[in-house]
Amino acid sequence: MSTIKAIIIDDEPLAANILKNYIEQVKNIQLIATFQNAIDCIPYLQQHHIDLIFLDINMPLLDGLSFLRSLDQKPMVIITTAHEEYAVQSYELEVLDYLVKPIPFNRFVMATTKALKTHNLQSTTTPQEHPFLFIKVDKKKMVKVYLDDILVIESLKDYIKIITSSNKYIVHQTLGSFTDDLPSDKFIRIHRSYTINIDKVETVEGNSVEVSGIRYTIGRSYINEVKSKILNEQNENED
């Protein structure tokens, strides 16, 4: 099994030292560097290959989740925090595990074992990307939704309706904030009430598009960008 190169980002020296001691007791994980804030880590990641980040959330200058959202290519991430309330947001950002301080050693071992298995699988197989997100459909239930399955997201004021190829989900989030979290090369807002999956567009006619047999109006302020994006994507695929 290949060795994982890891870093710690935590502004609490005591918490960082506990993680260091834990890492020393686990085989095949090598601690490369430790940072007290995420800002200092950014140039380091641009110059070094890292497999795993142990990441705190509440830190000065830049919090852990904002730092994670800023990364174009994310290594594996294990959240280490004293706060339970960020778990949902963290798993939406595809973190590997979420550890709540004080972290028991056996719980740490479970998380790092998962990291080692994931790393080994990535090293021995050809990766096939199937990006997904977790959406909160009620107070406790989280549902995994693959981006390729999403057809349309419809605004319902403070809520949105996510329409997939097989289901519909109501989520307490605005259309704007949800769209911002989606890859811009795959999804585009066509109206103040609709965001669509570009790959699912079947026809373009006048000021409307058809997705899964249903026609959606393109808003006047969106029409030039939407048509340009969809038709350019089509031309690029044909080339």
Dist CA 169 CA 157 (whole Å): 15
Domain with CATH 3.40.50.2300 in the chain: 4-124
The two tokens of residue 226 are 């939407």
**Fold for domain 132-238?**
OB fold (Dihydrolipoamide Acetyltransferase, E2P) (2.40.50)
Which residues have C-beta within 8 Å of that of residue 158, sequence separation ≥ 6? 172, 174
Specify the 3-state DSSP secondary structure of 39: helix
Dist CA 195 CA 190 (whole Å): 6
Does the pLDDT of residue 1 top 70, yes or no?
A: no
Question: What pLDDT, on a 0 to 100 scale, did the predictor assign at position 129?
Answer: 60
- The residue-averaged pLDDT of 18-44 equals 93
Residue-wise burial string across 201-235, b where 16 or more C-beta atoms lie within 10 A, e elsewhere: beeeeeeebebeeeebebeeebbeebeebbeebee
What's the DSSP call for residue 218? Answer: P
The helix or strand, by DSSP H or E, that contains position 98, with its residue range, turns out to be strand 97-100
- How much is the pTM? 0.53
Largest CA distance in the chain: 64
Backbone angles phi, psi at 42, to 5 degrees: -60, -50
Torsion, Cα of 77, 78, 81, 83 (10° steps): 90
Do 80 and 54 touch, CB atoms closer than 8 A?
Answer: yes
The two tokens of residue 199 are 């790959």
Does the pLDDT of residue 50 top 60, yes or no?
A: yes
Domain with CATH 2.40.50.1020 in the chain: 132-238
- Give the tens place of pLDDT for each residue, 58-109: 998 899 999 999 887 789 999 999 999 999 988 889 999 999 999 999 999 9
Report the chain's mean pLDDT, rounded to a whole number: 89
Percent of all residues in the chain with a pLDDT value above 70, rounded to a whole number: 93
- CATH code: domain 4-124 is 3.40.50.2300
Do 154 and 160 touch, CB atoms closer than 8 A?
Answer: yes
